[in-house]
Structures are given as C-alpha cells and as structure tokens.
Structure 1
C-alpha cells in the first residue's frame, strides 16, 4: 500500500457538471467518493458553465431532484464563464473551469465518468510535480503516409512554447513508437494551484487551436485539443509521466470507465460491485432512473448482459473492438 504524503494530504477535487449525462455521471462520482472516502478532508467542487454567447442553450443543471442530490452527496457548485470554448468545444470546460477554483490550493481534476474505488489518502500526490492519466491509446497524432512522424509532430509543439523536448521523452521506448512521446488522457490531472495551471492550459490550448505549427496541418484537434496541450502544460510546471506510482489512479483507487457499457464489459468485479452498491439506496435510485442509460444498464440488467459478452481476462486489445461487439449485440448506450 502506498504511503500517505503528509505535506500534501489535503486537496480539493473538481469535476464539471452541466445539464444532461454529465450531471448523472457526477452523481455516480460523488456517491462513490462519499462511500470510499467518508473522511475526505478536501472539498468536492461541481464546476458549472454559465450561459453566454458561446452556448446555444443554457448549459446549467436546472433546479430539481438531481441538483439537490448532488448537494446532498457533499459537493459544492461553483460557476465559471466560457471565454474561449463553450458549445464548439465542450472539452474546454475542464480548462476554463479551473479559473473558478480556490487559488493556491492543491487540486485534482477528474472527468465525471470516473468512480473513486479506494482511499485517496493512499495516493502519494506530489502537487508540485503535476501529472495526468496514462490510461490511453495512440489516438493522437494520426500519422499520414508522407507526413511528419510522432517525434517531429510533438517536437514542433514543444518548440512552439520553448520547452525542452528531449527531457520529455520516455527513453524506455524506441524512436517513433507512440509511448515514447508525452501523451496523456485528460481523465485526471493535478497540481498545487488550479488557477496557475488553468491560465497556462488555456493559453497553450488556444494557441494550438488558432496557430498550430505546420507539422499539425493534417491533424484533427477535435476532440483531442485538451490532450495535445496537457503534456506541454505538465512539462512546463516540472511534472511528467511517472510522478505517481502505477496502479493507484486508473487502478485500485479510481476507475475512468468512460461509458457504462464499457464499465460492464471490461472493468474488474470490484468496480461493478461498487457501482451497484452505491446506486442501490432508494433515494438515489429514484433520481438516477431519470437517466435512461443508468436505468437500463444498472437497474434493468443490461449491464450484466453486456458483461457476459466478454472474458474480462482476455479482452480485445482495442477499445473500438469492445464497442463494436457491444453494438452488434444491441446493448450500446451513451
């Protein structure tokens, strides 16, 4: 078991909440946090985008049972404005929301489609050395036959922001193998100050979107922009890939399941058991049934039918193959 880091024992958590699927996922997240970390010393913040010119409709979660449940589960709503992204790139919420977090306080951001499955006190965060999730596939960049390789593509970004590229490489992997290069999943990340991190994250993401290096001319940045900018931000603050022990976040202590059909298909039995335990109380069930996905996957048994399609000890290597099998069986939902 990892040792608790005494000097960094208190931190806040931020997730993004808005009307629709994210709000129901937030309830699952908050219920799991409350269940596994009843003595959590920090605050859980629900960052909520405010309506404005960058949204076609009001993105806020309306007053009602679901909002009341989220508050009852121990979280606090905070509001932020979208000045750069919004409707055109909702993944940018996780970037712009950082401005609403308390300045100078340790934080961990999680995507809402995450469950906290163990004691966060056992994660030895060093908040002065940020990092992010390594549970990812080689989704970016997508190489063209005659285009630049992984090395040239990533180096162009490091050069753009005057960052040392060579020190970001994982030399355990060979040239032009994607794991050699600094790519993360943005499902979680952490640092000692959300506002410092957010300012730089926004600066880098906007600069890449508006003025990408020539090496990116054939690359698609939607939805990958946050994950393209994130390694640069982490590196600029002295962080890197391995500032946390493996097997804790995205392991024994958190699970970024992405979508409920994928959770049932590929996650461990302890994750499924936790999900069904935290959603069993009638007070939660009454509200959570407002999500058709939760109602059918958890309460009507579609999740276990999905699970029966797979041997969890011998899963397809690619997520797309898992998705395709679920879709073929008619069990896919999102």
Structure 2
C-alpha cells in the first residue's frame, strides 16, 4: 500500500503595513493571495506598529478606504508596540511584530512588497526547520583590506550566542567568498512559533546593535541588521539554506519585487500580469490610485515604458545599473 502524503499543515501569514507606501503594498499582497492561492486556509495578518515614543509621527494605517479594502480581502489588522526599534530602524518591525502573533501557530513572514503569483499549497514548508529567502547579493559584510575577513566576522557572531559555526558553512564555496557563509534576504522567513522565533530574533538583534563584537568595527549595521541576525536565528533553530526546494518562493509562487519600477524592469511577464489583474477591479483600483507610483506605472502605463527599456534575458548584473537606467529615462518612482 502506498504511503499516504503527510497532511498539509495550516499556517498564518504576516506582513507589515503602516501609513504611506506599505499600506498599498499590503493591499496588493492581500489581493494577490486571494486571487492566486484561493485555497489558503490560514489567517492573513497585517501587523501595524502603534504610535508611541519610538516613532516621530503616527505610523498607523488611518486611511479608511485602505482599511475597508483590506477587510474585504480577509486581512486582519494586528497592532503591535515598538519597544526597541521604531523610527530609528523601521526594518525592526518585522522582528517586533512577531510577538503579537498567536503562540504555537506556524507562520510565514513576507515583506509587504511581495506578490503571490502561484498556489502556496505547492510549497512544502517544514516549520520545524526554518528558512528564509536566498534571493540576495553579497551586501554584508564588507571586509576591509587589513581584515578581519568574512570568516572571522561571521564566526564572532556565532560565538557571541554560543552557536556552532562550521555546520553553517557551504562546503561547495571557497573560503572568504560571501556565499560560503549563511546569509539570507529577510523578504520571507518561517518557523513553527512566532513567539519563540521573535523573542530570539529580538534578543540577538538588540545584542548586536548595542554591543557589536570587535570584529564588526567598521561594518555598517544599518540597514543590514535584520539580515545579519536572521541567519543566526535560523541556524539556532536547526534550519538552513536548504529548508525549501528552489524555484517556489521568490520563484513561481511568490515575487519579492521591492519597488514597482524594478518589478516592471526585471520580473517575468507572469508577475506583471498578476499585478495588473489584481489591481484592476474597481473597488481596489479606487484605493490604489491614491499611491502615485501605482497610479502612474500600473494605471497610466508608464510601467510598460520601463519594461521596454530592458531585455529580461540580459539584465544588468547589478541592481544599481537597472535603477540608473530607469532614472535616466525619467521613470523612477518610490
């Protein structure tokens, strides 16, 4: 008798939303989730930082049309307090919001500038072995001429938290090449419990921010702190770079586009089609037109003009070159 497939584990999704650009990205994420993964059975949380001493202004979503549209897409607003980061490091939202999620319920965090482009049921999550996005460049650290190098910098962080270092290394890569060392983009990550993961993420991040190892002298922590800490947390829970098969998240099932001009410049025809289809219904269109880049690039057709500037099969190797070409043609918006 053939073995029965393992039952699919329900999970929640969390994205961050706040006033300004992120509230519109959150609405697009929610709309794409419902359109492309209609069988998703978990809860979709839009985590919203609350006004307080860590913010200069009020980061909460106060646009009633956006809130109504999110509600129609089945999204739940999840307020959380910023106690460590806030205005000084808004990337810390993805760390602090985890404390507000239901304990013991598996979760996937996505950056709000993500589209769901396929069925999430295809993704074989093992929430006991966390993972994160491998769609990244070697942005950190930047070893200096006189050292320390990649190995010494990363080992100092593993040593700080009593973590075993050697098993985090990729033996297929040469020493002192950035990909040998565990490094993720924080555009998505997942685990069995947001409370456990979030508490460790926050503990490690605060420790490195407030008291970095001497090996980090000369290294910038802003904006890289979340991506510095994330590999340590994932490794500490037994996860790694092989936690998911390639080609699903950041592939056929989701797209972390980051900014709309970059989406039109480099993403597939399918991603552009999903964006334009989920943005088309009048009730959503009325809301999204309040954000100028979506209004001009999606609804007024400037995105297709950006698209015509590039051959997707022969894109510039560096993202900065893509940005510069868009800017020189007068189409850059964020």
What is the TM-score with the length of structure 1 in the denominator? 0.98
Q: 1:29-108 residue pairs with structure 2 within 5 A? A: 29-108=29-108
Q: 1:297-312 residue pairs with structure 2 within 5 A? A: 297-312=297-312
Aligned equivalents of 1:287, 1:132: Cα separation in 2: 31
Contact kept in structure 2, 1:92 and 1:226, CA below 8 Å: yes
- For 2:88, what is the secondary structure of its paired residue? coil
Corresponding position of 1:176: 176
Aligned equivalents of 1:262, 1:142: Cα separation in 2: 25
Corresponding position of 2:160: 160
Residues 198-253 of structure 1 show CA distances to partners (whole Å, capped at 9, x for unaligned) of 00000000000001101101000010000000000000000001110000000000
Q: 1:7-46 residue pairs with structure 2 within 5 A? A: 7-46=7-46
Contact kept in structure 2, 1:14 and 1:46, CA below 8 Å: yes
Residues 25-64 of structure 1 show CA distances to partners (whole Å, capped at 9, x for unaligned) of 0011001000011121100001011111001111100041
- For 2:314, what is the secondary structure of its paired residue? coil
Corresponding position of 1:261: 261
Contact kept in structure 2, 1:130 and 1:243, CA below 8 Å: yes
Corresponding position of 2:242: 242
Corresponding position of 1:118: 118
Aligned equivalents of 2:36, 2:162: Cα separation in 1: 42
- For 1:136, what is the secondary structure of its paired residue? coil
Deviation at 1:316, TM superposition (A): 0.7
Specify whether residues 7 and 205 from structure 1 end up closer, same or farther in structure 2 by C-alpha distance, changes over 3 A only: farther
Aligned equivalents of 1:317, 1:6: Cα separation in 2: 41
Deviation at 1:281, TM superposition (A): 0.9
Corresponding position of 2:206: 206
Deviation at 1:71, TM superposition (A): 1.1
Aligned equivalents of 2:122, 2:40: Cα separation in 1: 12
Specify whether residues 5 and 258 from structure 1 end up closer, same or farther in structure 2 by C-alpha distance, changes over 3 A only: farther
Contact kept in structure 2, 1:5 and 1:125, CA below 8 Å: no
Specify whether residues 209 and 7 from structure 1 end up closer, same or farther in structure 2 by C-alpha distance, changes over 3 A only: farther
Deviation at 1:147, TM superposition (A): 2.2
Deviation at 1:6, TM superposition (A): 3.5
Deviation at 1:148, TM superposition (A): 1.0
Corresponding position of 1:220: 220
Aligned equivalents of 1:201, 1:135: Cα separation in 2: 20
Corresponding position of 1:294: 294
Equivalent pairs, count: 331
What is the TM-score with the length of structure 2 in the denominator? 0.98
Matched, 1:128 2:109: no
Deviation at 1:270, TM superposition (A): 0.3
- For 1:215, what is the secondary structure of its paired residue? helix
Contact kept in structure 2, 1:8 and 1:126, CA below 8 Å: no
- For 1:209, what is the secondary structure of its paired residue? helix
Corresponding position of 1:328: 328
- For 2:87, what is the secondary structure of its paired residue? coil
Contact kept in structure 2, 1:5 and 1:124, CA below 8 Å: no
Deviation at 1:144, TM superposition (A): 1.3
Task: Name the Cα RMSD after superposition.
Answer: 1.1
Aligned equivalents of 1:5, 1:17: Cα separation in 2: 36
Aligned equivalents of 1:223, 1:5: Cα separation in 2: 42
Stretches (4+) displaced over 2 A: 4-9
Contact kept in structure 2, 1:168 and 1:181, CA below 8 Å: yes
Deviation at 1:9, TM superposition (A): 2.4
